[in-house]
Amino acid sequence: MDDFAGKAVMVMGGSRGIGAAIVRHFASAGANVIFTYSGSPDAAAEVANETGATAVKADSAKRDEVVAAVADAGPLDMLVVNAGVAISGDVLELNPDDIDRLIDINVRAPYHASVEAGRTMRDNGRIIIIGSVNGDRVPWPGATAYALSKSAVQGIGRGLARDFGHRGITVNVVQPGPVDTDMNPETGPFAKMMHSAMAIKRHAQVDEVAQLVMFLCSPAGAMITGTTQTIDGGVGI
Ligand code: NDP
C-alpha cells in the first residue's frame, strides 16, 4: 500500500503506544515519517529501525523543543500530535507542578506544534490531535486535569479548522476511550471499571485508533474538519 507515497508526516510522540502504531501505518503506506520522543530512546530506536522513520528527541513539555522539531521537519503534509500524559488521583492531593506539566504536554504542545506546522503546511494538509473521550465525558472521579486538557484540544481543533480551512487543511481531534497501551493496560486495575461504562466492553487496540487517523488523513477526509471523532466503544453513552 502506498497511498501516502512521498507525503511528509510528523508524529509527535511516536515511540510507544498509539503514536508508534500511527508511525507504522504511515510508514507502510509510503510516507516519509518523522516522529518525536522524549523518555524512551530505546523504544524510539526500535520503531525507527523497523519502519525507516526518523526519530527526533523533543520534550513536549518544552515549547522551544516542540516548535524547533516541527519547524525543522517542515513543510509537512500531515501532523499528528499524539504525545500525552495522564495523571489521576485525589484532586486535593495531586502535585500542582505535575498538573502544570500535564497542561504543557497535553495542551500547550498541541497548540504550538499545530500553529508552527500551519506556517508551512502544504495545501490540503491534515492536522490531527489525539484527545480523549474524557474531553466530553468523565465517568469516574480523579481525572479532572486530564479531562480539562482533552476538552481544551477540542477548542484548538475547531479554531484552527477555521484558521487553515481556506488552504484545504483539515484539523480534527481523535478521541479514544480505553486503549491497551503502557498508559492504560487492559490488564490494569481500572480496566473492569472502565469496561463497565462501555457498550463494547474491551480496550481498543492501537491499530484501531491508527486506522481512524489514516482515514481522516486520506483524500476521503477532505471535508471532515473541526470535528471530534470518538473511538471509545461507547463510554458513558
Ligand atoms: P503511552 O504512554 O503508551 O505513550 C505515550 C507516547 O507519548 C510515547 O511515545 C511518549 O514518548 C510520548 N510522550 C509522552 N510525554 C512526552 C513528552 N514530554 N515529550 C515527547 N513525547 C512524549 O500513551 P498512549 O499511547 O496510550 O497515549 C497516546 C495519546 O492517546 C495520549 O495523548 C493519550 O492521552 C491519548 N489517549 C490514550 C488513551 C488510552 O487509554 N491509552 C485513551 C484516550 C486517549 P516517550 O516515552 O519517548 O517520552
Q: Is 231 close to ligand 1, i.e. is its CB under 6 Å away?
A: no
Write phi, then psi, for 206 (nearest 5 degrees).
-60, -35
In a domain, 36, yes or no: yes
In a domain, 191, yes or no: yes
Q: Could you give the dihedral angle defined by the CA atoms of residues 50, 1, 173 and 44, in that order, rounded to the nearest 10 degrees?
A: 10
Distance in Å, CA 84 to ligand 1 centroid: 4
Give the Cα separation of 132 and 149 in Å (integer): 9
Task: Count up the domains in the chain and report the number.
Answer: 1
Pocket probe for ligand 1: among 179, 182, 186, the residue whose CB has the most ligand atoms within 8 Å is 179
Give the ligand 1 atom nearest the CA of 176: 43
In a domain, 236, yes or no: no
Residue closest via CA to ligand 1's atom 44 equals: 132
> For 170-195, what is the HEC assignment?
EEEEEEECCECCCCCCCCCCCHHHHH
Distance in Å, CA 18 to ligand 1 centroid: 7
What's the domain range around 128? 8-231
In a domain, 205, yes or no: yes
How much is the pLDDT for 173?
99
CATH number, domain containing residue 71: 3.40.50.720
pLDDT band, very low/low/confident/very high, at 1 (cuts 50, 70, 90): low
Give the ligand 1 atom nearest the CA of 150: 34
Distance in Å, CA 130 to ligand 1 centroid: 9
In a domain, 187, yes or no: yes
pLDDT band, very low/low/confident/very high, at 165 (cuts 50, 70, 90): very high
Instruction: Return the C-alpha cell found at 70.
Output: 516541527
Do the Cβ atoms of 218 and 179 come closer than 8 Å?
Answer: no
Q: Is 13 close to ligand 1, i.e. is its CB under 6 Å away?
A: yes
Give the ligand 1 atom nearest the CA of 15: 9
Q: Give the mean model confidence (pLDDT) for residues 170-184.
A: 98
Give the Cα separation of 184 and 38 in Å (integer): 19
In a domain, 3, yes or no: no
Q: How do residues 87-118 score in pLDDT, each as one tens digit?
A: 999 999 999 999 999 999 999 999 999 999 99
Q: How do residues 23-68 score in pLDDT, each as one tens digit?
A: 999 999 999 999 999 999 999 999 999 999 999 999 999 999 999 9
111 is catalytic: no
Distance in Å, CA 94 to ligand 1 centroid: 20
Q: Is 149 close to ligand 1, i.e. is its CB under 6 Å away?
A: no
In a domain, 64, yes or no: yes
Long-range contacts of 131-137 (CB under 8 A, 24+ apart): 131/157, 131/173, 131/174, 131/175, 131/228, 132/84, 132/175, 132/176, 132/177, 133/175, 133/176, 133/177, 133/230, 133/232, 133/235, 133/236, 135/173, 135/175, 135/228, 136/175, 136/228, 136/230, 137/235, 137/236
Q: Is 105 close to ligand 1, i.e. is its CB under 6 Å away?
A: yes
How much is the pLDDT for 236?
86
Q: Is 51 close to ligand 1, i.e. is its CB under 6 Å away?
A: no
Give the Cα separation of 144 and 34 in Å (integer): 32
Q: Is the ipTM of this complex over 0.90?
A: yes
In a domain, 237, yes or no: no
Distance in Å, CA 166 to ligand 1 centroid: 31
